[in-house]
Amino acid sequence: MFGLDTLGKAVNQLVNSFETNVRQGQQHLETLLGDAGVMDDAKLSTLTEMSDAYRTMAEDLLLHPLRFAGAELDLARKHMALGYYTLARLVGKDKQPVAEPEPDDRRFQAEDWHRHLPFDVLHQAYLINSRAFLNWVDDMEGVPQAGRDQMLFYGRQLTSLLSPANFPATNPEVLRITWERKGMNLVDGGRQLIEDLRQNPSLFNVGMTDRSAFEVGRNLATTPGKVVFQNELMQLIQYSPTTETVSKRPLLIVPPWINKYYILDLTARNSFIQWLVNQGQTVFIISWRNPGPSFRNKGWDDYMQLGPLAAMDAVTEATGEERMNVIGYCIGGTLLGSTLAWLKKKQRNPVVSATYLATLLDFSDPGGIGVFINDHSIRGIERMLERKGYLDGRAMAFTFNPLRENELFWSFWTNNYLKGQKPAAFDLLYWNTDGTNLPAKMHSFYLREMYLNNRLVEPDSLTLAGETINLSAIDVPSFFLSARQDHIAKWKSTYKGALAHGGDVRFVLSGSGHIAGVINPPYKEKYGYWTNDTLVPDADNWFEDSEHHPGSWWPHWLEWIARFSGGDVPARIPGEGAVPVIENAPGSYVRVKAADAAKC
Protein backbone atom coordinates (compact mmCIF):
# COMPACT_ATOMS: atom_id res chain seq x y z
CA MET A 1 0.00 0.00 0.00
CA PHE A 2 2.84 2.36 0.94
CA GLY A 3 4.50 1.73 -2.37
CA LEU A 4 1.37 2.48 -4.38
CA ASP A 5 0.71 5.64 -2.36
CA THR A 6 4.25 6.85 -2.90
CA LEU A 7 4.02 6.04 -6.61
CA GLY A 8 0.74 7.96 -6.86
CA LYS A 9 2.26 11.03 -5.21
CA ALA A 10 5.27 10.84 -7.49
CA VAL A 11 3.06 10.65 -10.56
CA ASN A 12 1.03 13.65 -9.35
CA GLN A 13 4.19 15.67 -8.73
CA LEU A 14 5.48 14.73 -12.17
CA VAL A 15 2.20 15.78 -13.80
CA ASN A 16 2.08 19.10 -11.88
CA SER A 17 5.67 19.89 -12.81
CA PHE A 18 4.94 19.02 -16.43
CA GLU A 19 1.85 21.28 -16.41
CA THR A 20 3.81 24.23 -15.00
CA ASN A 21 6.57 23.90 -17.59
CA VAL A 22 4.09 23.49 -20.44
CA ARG A 23 2.10 26.58 -19.40
CA GLN A 24 5.22 28.71 -19.16
CA GLY A 25 6.30 27.47 -22.57
CA GLN A 26 2.88 28.20 -24.03
CA GLN A 27 2.93 31.76 -22.69
CA HIS A 28 6.36 32.40 -24.20
CA LEU A 29 5.29 30.84 -27.51
CA GLU A 30 2.07 32.91 -27.64
CA THR A 31 4.02 36.12 -27.04
CA LEU A 32 6.70 35.20 -29.59
CA LEU A 33 4.31 34.19 -32.37
CA GLY A 34 1.91 37.06 -31.65
CA ASP A 35 4.68 39.67 -31.76
CA ALA A 36 6.02 38.15 -34.96
CA GLY A 37 2.57 38.36 -36.59
CA VAL A 38 2.58 34.64 -37.44
CA MET A 39 -0.90 34.22 -35.94
CA ASP A 40 -3.20 36.64 -34.13
CA ASP A 41 -3.46 36.33 -30.36
CA ALA A 42 -7.09 35.16 -30.36
CA LYS A 43 -6.20 32.14 -32.54
CA LEU A 44 -3.13 31.43 -30.45
CA SER A 45 -5.23 31.44 -27.28
CA THR A 46 -7.72 29.06 -28.85
CA LEU A 47 -4.94 26.69 -29.91
CA THR A 48 -3.53 26.83 -26.39
CA GLU A 49 -6.94 26.07 -24.87
CA MET A 50 -7.32 23.17 -27.27
CA SER A 51 -3.89 21.75 -26.45
CA ASP A 52 -4.61 22.15 -22.73
CA ALA A 53 -7.81 20.15 -23.11
CA TYR A 54 -6.07 17.35 -24.98
CA ARG A 55 -3.20 17.36 -22.46
CA THR A 56 -5.68 17.03 -19.57
CA MET A 57 -7.18 14.00 -21.29
CA ALA A 58 -3.73 12.45 -21.64
CA GLU A 59 -2.98 13.13 -17.97
CA ASP A 60 -6.20 11.39 -16.99
CA LEU A 61 -4.99 8.29 -18.81
CA LEU A 62 -1.85 8.35 -16.69
CA LEU A 63 -3.55 9.10 -13.38
CA HIS A 64 -6.59 6.83 -13.74
CA PRO A 65 -5.52 3.74 -15.70
CA LEU A 66 -8.25 1.54 -14.20
CA ARG A 67 -11.03 3.85 -15.33
CA PHE A 68 -9.55 3.91 -18.81
CA ALA A 69 -9.22 0.13 -18.78
CA GLY A 70 -12.91 -0.16 -17.88
CA ALA A 71 -13.85 2.11 -20.76
CA GLU A 72 -11.66 0.07 -23.10
CA LEU A 73 -13.35 -3.16 -21.96
CA ASP A 74 -16.78 -1.71 -22.71
CA LEU A 75 -15.53 -0.52 -26.09
CA ALA A 76 -14.20 -4.02 -26.86
CA ARG A 77 -17.63 -5.52 -26.10
CA LYS A 78 -19.29 -3.18 -28.58
CA HIS A 79 -16.74 -3.96 -31.27
CA MET A 80 -17.30 -7.66 -30.65
CA ALA A 81 -21.02 -7.08 -31.14
CA LEU A 82 -20.16 -5.24 -34.37
CA GLY A 83 -18.18 -8.31 -35.45
CA TYR A 84 -21.24 -10.55 -34.90
CA TYR A 85 -23.32 -8.03 -36.87
CA THR A 86 -20.82 -8.20 -39.74
CA LEU A 87 -20.89 -12.00 -39.81
CA ALA A 88 -24.70 -11.98 -39.79
CA ARG A 89 -24.79 -9.66 -42.78
CA LEU A 90 -22.22 -11.75 -44.64
CA VAL A 91 -24.47 -14.81 -44.41
CA GLY A 92 -27.53 -12.83 -45.42
CA LYS A 93 -29.22 -12.50 -42.01
CA ASP A 94 -30.97 -9.35 -40.84
CA LYS A 95 -29.60 -7.99 -37.60
CA GLN A 96 -30.19 -4.76 -35.68
CA PRO A 97 -27.26 -2.32 -36.09
CA VAL A 98 -24.99 -1.97 -33.06
CA ALA A 99 -24.76 1.81 -33.37
CA GLU A 100 -27.16 4.15 -35.13
CA PRO A 101 -26.83 7.90 -35.70
CA GLU A 102 -28.83 10.33 -33.60
CA PRO A 103 -32.10 11.42 -35.29
CA ASP A 104 -30.65 14.86 -36.14
CA ASP A 105 -27.31 13.47 -37.43
CA ARG A 106 -27.58 13.63 -41.22
CA ARG A 107 -24.06 12.47 -42.05
CA PHE A 108 -24.99 8.81 -42.57
CA GLN A 109 -28.57 9.06 -43.80
CA ALA A 110 -27.83 8.14 -47.42
CA GLU A 111 -28.64 4.56 -48.40
CA ASP A 112 -25.02 4.08 -49.61
CA TRP A 113 -23.87 3.88 -46.00
CA HIS A 114 -26.19 0.94 -45.25
CA ARG A 115 -26.35 -0.92 -48.56
CA HIS A 116 -22.61 -1.64 -48.78
CA LEU A 117 -21.27 -3.72 -45.88
CA PRO A 118 -17.77 -2.13 -45.60
CA PHE A 119 -19.26 1.35 -45.19
CA ASP A 120 -22.01 0.08 -42.91
CA VAL A 121 -19.38 -1.37 -40.59
CA LEU A 122 -17.11 1.67 -40.98
CA HIS A 123 -19.69 4.24 -39.93
CA GLN A 124 -20.91 2.09 -37.04
CA ALA A 125 -17.32 1.64 -35.82
CA TYR A 126 -16.85 5.39 -36.00
CA LEU A 127 -20.00 6.02 -33.96
CA ILE A 128 -18.95 3.43 -31.36
CA ASN A 129 -15.45 4.91 -31.02
CA SER A 130 -16.49 8.57 -30.96
CA ARG A 131 -19.23 7.99 -28.38
CA ALA A 132 -16.89 5.93 -26.20
CA PHE A 133 -14.29 8.71 -26.33
CA LEU A 134 -16.77 11.48 -25.46
CA ASN A 135 -18.31 9.40 -22.67
CA TRP A 136 -14.86 8.80 -21.24
CA VAL A 137 -14.18 12.55 -21.27
CA ASP A 138 -17.54 13.29 -19.69
CA ASP A 139 -16.85 10.81 -16.87
CA MET A 140 -13.55 12.37 -15.84
CA GLU A 141 -13.36 12.89 -12.08
CA GLY A 142 -12.45 16.10 -10.29
CA VAL A 143 -12.86 18.34 -13.34
CA PRO A 144 -14.88 21.57 -12.85
CA GLN A 145 -17.94 21.89 -15.08
CA ALA A 146 -16.38 24.68 -17.16
CA GLY A 147 -13.30 22.54 -17.80
CA ARG A 148 -15.44 19.50 -18.59
CA ASP A 149 -17.50 21.50 -21.10
CA GLN A 150 -14.33 22.75 -22.74
CA MET A 151 -12.85 19.25 -23.01
CA LEU A 152 -16.11 17.89 -24.42
CA PHE A 153 -16.18 20.72 -26.96
CA TYR A 154 -12.64 20.08 -28.21
CA GLY A 155 -13.17 16.33 -28.01
CA ARG A 156 -16.24 16.74 -30.18
CA GLN A 157 -14.26 18.83 -32.69
CA LEU A 158 -11.72 15.99 -32.94
CA THR A 159 -14.30 13.22 -33.38
CA SER A 160 -16.28 15.27 -35.90
CA LEU A 161 -13.11 15.95 -37.90
CA LEU A 162 -12.34 12.22 -38.09
CA SER A 163 -15.77 11.24 -39.40
CA PRO A 164 -15.51 8.99 -42.48
CA ALA A 165 -18.07 11.29 -44.13
CA ASN A 166 -15.39 14.00 -44.41
CA PHE A 167 -12.96 12.10 -46.66
CA PRO A 168 -13.45 11.03 -50.30
CA ALA A 169 -12.08 7.52 -49.88
CA THR A 170 -14.33 6.65 -46.92
CA ASN A 171 -17.57 8.30 -48.05
CA PRO A 172 -19.60 5.99 -50.32
CA GLU A 173 -21.77 8.87 -51.55
CA VAL A 174 -18.69 10.74 -52.72
CA LEU A 175 -17.22 7.62 -54.34
CA ARG A 176 -20.46 6.96 -56.23
CA ILE A 177 -20.73 10.59 -57.39
CA THR A 178 -17.05 10.58 -58.40
CA TRP A 179 -17.63 7.46 -60.52
CA GLU A 180 -20.80 8.86 -62.10
CA ARG A 181 -19.26 12.25 -62.88
CA LYS A 182 -15.82 10.89 -63.80
CA GLY A 183 -14.16 12.99 -61.10
CA MET A 184 -15.64 16.33 -62.14
CA ASN A 185 -17.25 16.70 -58.71
CA LEU A 186 -13.76 16.95 -57.17
CA VAL A 187 -12.72 19.46 -59.84
CA ASP A 188 -15.81 21.58 -59.15
CA GLY A 189 -15.24 21.22 -55.43
CA GLY A 190 -11.65 22.36 -55.80
CA ARG A 191 -12.81 25.46 -57.68
CA GLN A 192 -15.29 26.26 -54.92
CA LEU A 193 -12.62 25.79 -52.25
CA ILE A 194 -10.28 28.18 -54.06
CA GLU A 195 -13.10 30.73 -54.37
CA ASP A 196 -13.94 30.47 -50.66
CA LEU A 197 -10.27 30.92 -49.79
CA ARG A 198 -10.16 33.96 -52.08
CA GLN A 199 -13.24 35.44 -50.42
CA ASN A 200 -11.67 35.00 -46.97
CA PRO A 201 -7.89 35.01 -47.43
CA SER A 202 -7.00 35.20 -43.72
CA LEU A 203 -10.18 33.79 -42.16
CA PHE A 204 -11.38 30.72 -44.00
CA ASN A 205 -15.12 30.12 -43.69
CA VAL A 206 -16.77 27.38 -45.68
CA GLY A 207 -19.24 28.67 -48.30
CA MET A 208 -22.81 28.25 -47.03
CA THR A 209 -24.91 29.87 -49.71
CA ASP A 210 -24.85 31.18 -53.25
CA ARG A 211 -23.68 34.73 -52.56
CA SER A 212 -24.56 35.88 -56.07
CA ALA A 213 -28.26 35.17 -55.48
CA PHE A 214 -28.79 37.97 -52.95
CA GLU A 215 -28.36 41.69 -52.70
CA VAL A 216 -29.40 43.91 -49.82
CA GLY A 217 -32.06 46.30 -51.08
CA ARG A 218 -32.92 44.12 -54.09
CA ASN A 219 -34.30 40.90 -52.60
CA LEU A 220 -33.33 41.36 -48.93
CA ALA A 221 -34.26 44.25 -46.61
CA THR A 222 -36.90 45.46 -49.06
CA THR A 223 -39.60 46.84 -46.73
CA PRO A 224 -40.16 50.42 -47.99
CA GLY A 225 -38.86 53.17 -45.73
CA LYS A 226 -36.47 56.09 -45.36
CA VAL A 227 -33.35 56.84 -43.38
CA VAL A 228 -34.39 59.83 -41.27
CA PHE A 229 -31.40 60.20 -38.95
CA GLN A 230 -27.79 59.15 -38.79
CA ASN A 231 -24.65 59.64 -36.75
CA GLU A 232 -21.19 58.10 -36.83
CA LEU A 233 -22.42 54.79 -35.35
CA MET A 234 -25.88 54.18 -36.80
CA GLN A 235 -28.60 55.10 -39.25
CA LEU A 236 -32.25 55.24 -38.17
CA ILE A 237 -34.84 53.88 -40.62
CA GLN A 238 -38.53 54.82 -40.48
CA TYR A 239 -40.77 52.48 -42.46
CA SER A 240 -43.62 53.60 -44.69
CA PRO A 241 -47.11 52.74 -43.39
CA THR A 242 -49.46 50.28 -45.11
CA THR A 243 -52.51 51.14 -42.99
CA GLU A 244 -54.58 54.34 -42.79
CA THR A 245 -54.13 54.59 -39.03
CA VAL A 246 -51.27 53.53 -36.78
CA SER A 247 -50.64 53.14 -33.07
CA LYS A 248 -50.04 56.50 -31.43
CA ARG A 249 -46.86 55.35 -29.75
CA PRO A 250 -44.07 54.47 -32.20
CA LEU A 251 -42.01 51.28 -32.04
CA LEU A 252 -38.20 51.41 -31.98
CA ILE A 253 -36.14 48.26 -32.64
CA VAL A 254 -32.57 47.89 -31.35
CA PRO A 255 -31.08 44.97 -33.33
CA PRO A 256 -27.77 43.23 -32.64
CA TRP A 257 -24.63 44.76 -34.11
CA ILE A 258 -22.82 41.43 -34.15
CA ASN A 259 -24.82 40.83 -37.35
CA LYS A 260 -26.82 43.18 -39.56
CA TYR A 261 -30.37 44.26 -38.78
CA TYR A 262 -32.02 42.70 -41.81
CA ILE A 263 -32.43 39.33 -40.10
CA LEU A 264 -35.72 41.02 -39.15
CA ASP A 265 -36.41 41.89 -42.80
CA LEU A 266 -35.28 39.03 -45.01
CA THR A 267 -38.10 38.40 -47.50
CA ALA A 268 -41.53 40.02 -47.39
CA ARG A 269 -43.36 36.88 -46.18
CA ASN A 270 -40.82 36.23 -43.43
CA SER A 271 -40.15 39.85 -42.46
CA PHE A 272 -40.97 40.72 -38.87
CA ILE A 273 -40.65 44.40 -39.80
CA GLN A 274 -43.13 44.14 -42.69
CA TRP A 275 -45.56 42.26 -40.43
CA LEU A 276 -45.29 44.97 -37.76
CA VAL A 277 -45.97 47.69 -40.33
CA ASN A 278 -48.98 45.75 -41.59
CA GLN A 279 -50.33 45.60 -38.03
CA GLY A 280 -50.43 49.39 -37.87
CA GLN A 281 -47.14 50.09 -36.09
CA THR A 282 -44.92 53.08 -36.86
CA VAL A 283 -41.65 51.16 -36.97
CA PHE A 284 -38.16 52.58 -36.56
CA ILE A 285 -35.03 50.44 -36.57
CA ILE A 286 -31.35 51.13 -35.92
CA SER A 287 -28.97 50.07 -38.70
CA TRP A 288 -25.53 49.87 -37.08
CA ARG A 289 -22.39 50.97 -38.85
CA ASN A 290 -19.83 48.33 -39.80
CA PRO A 291 -16.78 49.67 -37.90
CA GLY A 292 -13.10 49.44 -38.70
CA PRO A 293 -9.90 50.23 -36.79
CA SER A 294 -10.74 53.96 -36.53
CA PHE A 295 -13.60 52.99 -34.18
CA ARG A 296 -11.31 51.17 -31.75
CA ASN A 297 -12.21 53.46 -28.81
CA LYS A 298 -15.98 53.20 -29.20
CA GLY A 299 -17.26 51.53 -26.05
CA TRP A 300 -20.52 50.28 -24.58
CA ASP A 301 -21.30 53.84 -23.44
CA ASP A 302 -20.97 55.07 -27.04
CA TYR A 303 -23.28 52.36 -28.34
CA MET A 304 -25.84 53.37 -25.72
CA GLN A 305 -25.59 57.12 -26.30
CA LEU A 306 -25.21 57.08 -30.08
CA GLY A 307 -27.57 54.12 -30.45
CA PRO A 308 -30.87 53.83 -28.53
CA LEU A 309 -30.63 57.17 -26.72
CA ALA A 310 -29.97 59.11 -29.93
CA ALA A 311 -32.62 57.05 -31.72
CA MET A 312 -35.24 57.79 -29.03
CA ASP A 313 -34.63 61.52 -29.44
CA ALA A 314 -34.92 61.20 -33.23
CA VAL A 315 -38.14 59.15 -32.97
CA THR A 316 -39.64 61.82 -30.72
CA GLU A 317 -38.63 64.54 -33.18
CA ALA A 318 -40.02 62.59 -36.14
CA THR A 319 -43.38 61.71 -34.55
CA GLY A 320 -43.91 64.26 -31.80
CA GLU A 321 -44.34 61.40 -29.32
CA GLU A 322 -42.22 61.56 -26.19
CA ARG A 323 -42.88 57.93 -25.20
CA MET A 324 -42.47 54.78 -27.27
CA ASN A 325 -42.30 50.99 -27.21
CA VAL A 326 -38.85 49.45 -27.72
CA ILE A 327 -37.68 45.99 -28.86
CA GLY A 328 -34.15 44.67 -28.33
CA TYR A 329 -32.83 41.53 -30.02
CA CYS A 330 -29.86 39.51 -28.72
CA ILE A 331 -27.04 41.91 -27.75
CA GLY A 332 -29.39 44.74 -28.77
CA GLY A 333 -31.60 43.60 -25.90
CA THR A 334 -28.61 43.57 -23.55
CA LEU A 335 -27.95 47.17 -24.57
CA LEU A 336 -31.66 47.99 -24.12
CA GLY A 337 -31.60 46.68 -20.54
CA SER A 338 -28.46 48.73 -19.82
CA THR A 339 -30.11 51.81 -21.33
CA LEU A 340 -33.34 51.45 -19.36
CA ALA A 341 -31.39 51.11 -16.11
CA TRP A 342 -29.38 54.22 -17.03
CA LEU A 343 -32.54 56.16 -17.90
CA LYS A 344 -34.07 55.17 -14.56
CA LYS A 345 -31.03 56.55 -12.76
CA LYS A 346 -31.44 59.77 -14.76
CA GLN A 347 -35.17 59.87 -13.88
CA ARG A 348 -36.09 59.87 -17.55
CA ASN A 349 -39.00 57.79 -18.83
CA PRO A 350 -39.24 57.76 -22.65
CA VAL A 351 -40.01 54.00 -22.87
CA VAL A 352 -43.49 52.71 -22.10
CA SER A 353 -42.73 49.00 -22.75
CA ALA A 354 -39.67 46.88 -23.48
CA THR A 355 -39.49 43.62 -25.44
CA TYR A 356 -36.43 41.41 -25.21
CA LEU A 357 -35.90 38.82 -27.97
CA ALA A 358 -33.43 36.00 -27.16
CA THR A 359 -31.55 38.32 -24.82
CA LEU A 360 -28.99 37.57 -22.13
CA LEU A 361 -28.97 39.85 -19.10
CA ASP A 362 -27.63 37.19 -16.72
CA PHE A 363 -24.49 35.59 -18.20
CA SER A 364 -23.92 32.94 -15.53
CA ASP A 365 -24.58 30.24 -18.14
CA PRO A 366 -23.65 31.74 -21.52
CA GLY A 367 -24.48 28.67 -23.60
CA GLY A 368 -22.17 26.97 -26.07
CA ILE A 369 -19.92 30.01 -26.44
CA GLY A 370 -18.97 29.55 -22.79
CA VAL A 371 -16.15 27.22 -23.88
CA PHE A 372 -14.32 30.35 -25.11
CA ILE A 373 -15.08 32.42 -22.00
CA ASN A 374 -12.19 32.36 -19.56
CA ASP A 375 -9.54 34.85 -18.55
CA HIS A 376 -6.83 33.28 -20.73
CA SER A 377 -8.95 33.31 -23.89
CA ILE A 378 -10.21 36.83 -23.31
CA ARG A 379 -6.67 38.13 -22.69
CA GLY A 380 -5.68 36.63 -26.05
CA ILE A 381 -8.64 38.33 -27.74
CA GLU A 382 -7.80 41.62 -26.02
CA ARG A 383 -4.19 41.47 -27.25
CA MET A 384 -5.50 40.94 -30.78
CA LEU A 385 -8.02 43.79 -30.34
CA GLU A 386 -5.27 46.10 -29.13
CA ARG A 387 -3.21 45.38 -32.24
CA LYS A 388 -6.04 45.60 -34.82
CA GLY A 389 -8.54 47.92 -33.16
CA TYR A 390 -11.50 45.68 -33.97
CA LEU A 391 -12.72 42.09 -34.16
CA ASP A 392 -13.25 40.95 -37.73
CA GLY A 393 -16.91 40.04 -38.26
CA ARG A 394 -15.90 36.95 -40.20
CA ALA A 395 -14.17 35.65 -37.06
CA MET A 396 -17.52 35.70 -35.25
CA ALA A 397 -18.95 33.23 -37.76
CA PHE A 398 -15.86 31.07 -37.32
CA THR A 399 -16.48 31.16 -33.55
CA PHE A 400 -20.17 30.21 -33.69
CA ASN A 401 -19.96 27.53 -36.41
CA PRO A 402 -18.03 25.00 -34.27
CA LEU A 403 -20.83 25.13 -31.70
CA ARG A 404 -22.78 23.02 -34.23
CA GLU A 405 -19.85 21.84 -36.30
CA ASN A 406 -21.49 19.02 -38.24
CA GLU A 407 -24.43 21.14 -39.29
CA LEU A 408 -22.62 24.45 -39.89
CA PHE A 409 -19.24 23.31 -41.20
CA TRP A 410 -18.71 19.67 -42.12
CA SER A 411 -21.99 19.25 -44.01
CA PHE A 412 -21.01 22.15 -46.26
CA TRP A 413 -17.45 20.83 -46.53
CA THR A 414 -18.75 17.50 -47.84
CA ASN A 415 -21.39 18.93 -50.17
CA ASN A 416 -19.30 21.79 -51.56
CA TYR A 417 -15.82 20.33 -51.92
CA LEU A 418 -16.28 16.54 -52.10
CA LYS A 419 -19.60 16.21 -53.90
CA GLY A 420 -18.98 19.37 -55.94
CA GLN A 421 -22.45 20.77 -55.26
CA LYS A 422 -22.99 24.49 -55.37
CA PRO A 423 -24.49 25.85 -52.14
CA ALA A 424 -28.20 26.59 -52.34
CA ALA A 425 -29.50 30.15 -52.37
CA PHE A 426 -30.64 30.57 -48.74
CA ASP A 427 -31.35 34.08 -47.44
CA LEU A 428 -30.73 33.22 -43.78
CA LEU A 429 -27.29 31.78 -44.50
CA TYR A 430 -26.42 34.77 -46.69
CA TRP A 431 -27.22 37.02 -43.72
CA ASN A 432 -25.13 34.77 -41.49
CA THR A 433 -22.07 35.30 -43.70
CA ASP A 434 -22.62 39.09 -44.02
CA GLY A 435 -20.80 39.89 -40.79
CA THR A 436 -20.03 43.08 -38.93
CA ASN A 437 -16.83 44.09 -37.16
CA LEU A 438 -16.78 44.93 -33.46
CA PRO A 439 -14.79 47.85 -31.96
CA ALA A 440 -11.98 46.85 -29.61
CA LYS A 441 -13.12 48.78 -26.52
CA MET A 442 -16.76 47.70 -26.76
CA HIS A 443 -16.00 44.04 -27.40
CA SER A 444 -13.46 43.81 -24.59
CA PHE A 445 -15.99 45.36 -22.18
CA TYR A 446 -18.74 43.01 -23.33
CA LEU A 447 -16.65 39.86 -22.98
CA ARG A 448 -14.98 40.73 -19.70
CA GLU A 449 -17.66 42.58 -17.73
CA MET A 450 -20.69 40.63 -18.90
CA TYR A 451 -19.66 37.19 -20.12
CA LEU A 452 -16.73 36.63 -17.76
CA ASN A 453 -17.68 38.64 -14.64
CA ASN A 454 -21.49 38.75 -15.09
CA ARG A 455 -21.66 42.24 -13.64
CA LEU A 456 -24.77 43.44 -15.47
CA VAL A 457 -27.08 41.69 -12.97
CA GLU A 458 -25.09 42.94 -9.97
CA PRO A 459 -26.76 46.16 -8.72
CA ASP A 460 -24.58 49.25 -9.18
CA SER A 461 -21.62 47.15 -10.34
CA LEU A 462 -21.35 48.68 -13.82
CA THR A 463 -20.94 52.38 -14.57
CA LEU A 464 -22.21 53.70 -17.91
CA ALA A 465 -21.88 57.34 -18.96
CA GLY A 466 -21.16 58.38 -15.38
CA GLU A 467 -24.00 56.45 -13.72
CA THR A 468 -24.09 53.10 -11.96
CA ILE A 469 -26.97 50.94 -13.17
CA ASN A 470 -29.38 48.51 -11.52
CA LEU A 471 -31.64 46.28 -13.63
CA SER A 472 -33.95 45.60 -10.68
CA ALA A 473 -34.76 49.31 -10.47
CA ILE A 474 -36.32 49.30 -13.96
CA ASP A 475 -40.10 49.72 -13.70
CA VAL A 476 -40.92 49.52 -17.42
CA PRO A 477 -43.30 46.61 -18.27
CA SER A 478 -41.32 44.01 -20.20
CA PHE A 479 -41.89 41.01 -22.47
CA PHE A 480 -39.13 38.37 -22.64
CA LEU A 481 -39.18 36.00 -25.62
CA SER A 482 -36.74 33.09 -25.53
CA ALA A 483 -36.29 29.99 -27.71
CA ARG A 484 -36.21 26.50 -26.28
CA GLN A 485 -33.39 25.17 -28.52
CA ASP A 486 -31.35 28.38 -28.47
CA HIS A 487 -27.65 27.48 -28.05
CA ILE A 488 -26.48 31.13 -28.02
CA ALA A 489 -28.85 32.61 -25.42
CA LYS A 490 -30.03 29.55 -23.49
CA TRP A 491 -33.60 29.98 -22.39
CA LYS A 492 -32.95 29.19 -18.73
CA SER A 493 -30.26 31.89 -18.71
CA THR A 494 -32.59 34.43 -20.28
CA TYR A 495 -35.17 33.42 -17.66
CA LYS A 496 -32.67 34.39 -14.95
CA GLY A 497 -32.31 37.76 -16.68
CA ALA A 498 -36.07 38.22 -16.60
CA LEU A 499 -36.02 37.56 -12.85
CA ALA A 500 -33.31 40.22 -12.42
CA HIS A 501 -35.39 42.80 -14.34
CA GLY A 502 -37.67 45.11 -12.39
CA GLY A 503 -41.27 46.00 -13.25
CA ASP A 504 -44.08 43.85 -14.59
CA VAL A 505 -42.35 41.00 -16.46
CA ARG A 506 -43.92 38.49 -18.85
CA PHE A 507 -41.85 35.54 -20.05
CA VAL A 508 -42.75 33.53 -23.17
CA LEU A 509 -40.85 30.53 -24.54
CA SER A 510 -40.85 29.80 -28.27
CA GLY A 511 -39.92 26.57 -29.97
CA SER A 512 -36.80 26.20 -32.18
CA GLY A 513 -33.58 28.22 -31.87
CA HIS A 514 -31.99 31.66 -31.73
CA ILE A 515 -33.20 32.72 -35.18
CA ALA A 516 -36.15 30.51 -36.18
CA GLY A 517 -37.67 30.81 -32.72
CA VAL A 518 -37.85 34.58 -33.19
CA ILE A 519 -38.44 34.85 -36.95
CA ASN A 520 -41.54 32.67 -36.99
CA PRO A 521 -44.32 34.32 -39.07
CA PRO A 522 -47.89 33.18 -38.36
CA TYR A 523 -48.49 31.73 -41.83
CA LYS A 524 -45.95 28.94 -41.18
CA GLU A 525 -47.92 27.59 -38.20
CA LYS A 526 -44.70 26.13 -36.76
CA TYR A 527 -42.96 25.53 -33.44
CA GLY A 528 -45.55 26.93 -31.02
CA TYR A 529 -44.82 28.70 -27.74
CA TRP A 530 -45.35 28.34 -23.98
CA THR A 531 -46.83 30.89 -21.58
CA ASN A 532 -47.10 31.12 -17.81
CA ASP A 533 -48.09 34.46 -16.29
CA THR A 534 -46.42 33.59 -12.99
CA LEU A 535 -42.65 33.97 -12.72
CA VAL A 536 -41.19 31.56 -10.18
CA PRO A 537 -37.55 31.27 -9.08
CA ASP A 538 -36.90 28.02 -10.97
CA ALA A 539 -37.17 27.91 -14.79
CA ASP A 540 -38.05 24.21 -14.84
CA ASN A 541 -40.97 24.81 -12.48
CA TRP A 542 -42.15 27.66 -14.71
CA PHE A 543 -42.10 25.34 -17.71
CA GLU A 544 -43.89 22.50 -15.91
CA ASP A 545 -46.83 24.80 -15.17
CA SER A 546 -46.81 26.55 -18.55
CA GLU A 547 -49.42 26.25 -21.29
CA HIS A 548 -48.46 25.31 -24.85
CA HIS A 549 -49.95 27.20 -27.80
CA PRO A 550 -49.61 26.23 -31.47
CA GLY A 551 -48.21 28.56 -34.11
CA SER A 552 -46.32 31.84 -33.87
CA TRP A 553 -45.77 33.96 -30.78
CA TRP A 554 -46.18 37.17 -32.85
CA PRO A 555 -49.98 37.58 -32.44
CA HIS A 556 -49.66 36.85 -28.70
CA TRP A 557 -47.07 39.62 -28.37
CA LEU A 558 -49.27 41.98 -30.39
CA GLU A 559 -52.09 41.49 -27.88
CA TRP A 560 -49.68 42.29 -25.06
CA ILE A 561 -48.27 45.44 -26.61
CA ALA A 562 -51.73 46.76 -27.54
CA ARG A 563 -52.03 47.92 -23.91
CA PHE A 564 -49.22 50.37 -24.55
CA SER A 565 -50.21 51.62 -28.01
CA GLY A 566 -51.95 54.82 -26.83
CA GLY A 567 -54.79 54.50 -29.33
CA ASP A 568 -54.71 55.25 -33.06
CA VAL A 569 -53.61 58.25 -35.09
CA PRO A 570 -53.40 58.91 -38.85
CA ALA A 571 -50.53 57.04 -40.51
CA ARG A 572 -47.16 58.80 -40.42
CA ILE A 573 -45.20 59.23 -43.64
CA PRO A 574 -41.38 59.27 -43.29
CA GLY A 575 -40.08 62.79 -43.90
CA GLU A 576 -43.34 64.55 -43.13
CA GLY A 577 -42.29 65.08 -39.53
CA ALA A 578 -39.61 67.40 -38.19
CA VAL A 579 -36.74 65.25 -39.50
CA PRO A 580 -35.85 65.21 -43.21
CA VAL A 581 -35.27 62.12 -45.33
CA ILE A 582 -31.58 61.31 -45.83
CA GLU A 583 -31.91 58.36 -48.23
CA ASN A 584 -34.10 55.39 -49.04
CA ALA A 585 -34.10 52.27 -46.88
CA PRO A 586 -32.18 50.08 -46.32
CA GLY A 587 -29.60 52.88 -46.24
CA SER A 588 -25.89 52.88 -46.91
CA TYR A 589 -24.50 51.60 -43.59
CA VAL A 590 -25.99 48.12 -44.03
CA ARG A 591 -24.34 47.66 -47.43
CA VAL A 592 -20.77 47.94 -46.11
CA LYS A 593 -18.97 44.60 -45.93
CA ALA A 594 -16.74 43.64 -43.00
CA ALA A 595 -13.63 43.41 -45.18
CA ASP A 596 -14.24 46.88 -46.63
CA ALA A 597 -14.94 48.38 -43.20
CA ALA A 598 -11.63 46.98 -41.97
CA LYS A 599 -9.83 49.36 -44.34
CA CYS A 600 -11.31 52.45 -42.64
C-alpha 429, offset from chain centre: 13
C-alpha distance from residue 499 to each of 30, 45, 316 (Å): 41, 35, 30
Quickly count: other Cβ atoms within 10 Å of residue 289's Cβ: 25
In a 3-state reduction of DSSP, which class is residue 76? helix
Query: Is 330 a known active-site residue?
Result: yes
- DSSP state, residue 37: T
* Angstrom distances, CA of residue 321 to CA of 251, 284, 354, 420, 567: 11, 13, 16, 56, 13
Distinct helix (H) and strand (E) counts, the chain: 22, 17
Helix, coil or strand: residue 101: coil
Q: State the Cα angle at 399 between 47 and 509, rounded to 5°.
A: 135
How many Å apart are CA 505 and CA 507, to the nearest integer? 7
222 φ/ψ angles, rounded to the nearest 5 degrees: -105, 0
- Choosing from 42, 177, 330, 336, the catalytic residue is 330
> Facing residues of 216 across strands?
220
Q: What is the DSSP string of 203-254?
A: S-----S-GGG--BTTTBS-S-EEEEEE-SSEEEEEEPPSSSEEESS-EEEE
First to last CA, the chain: 69
Taking 3-state DSSP, the helix, strand and coil percentages for the chain, each rounded to the nearest 5, stand at: 55, 10, 35
Residue-wise DSSP of 372-397:
G-SHHHHHHHHHHHHHHSEE-HHHHH
Q: Which residues are catalytic?
A: 330
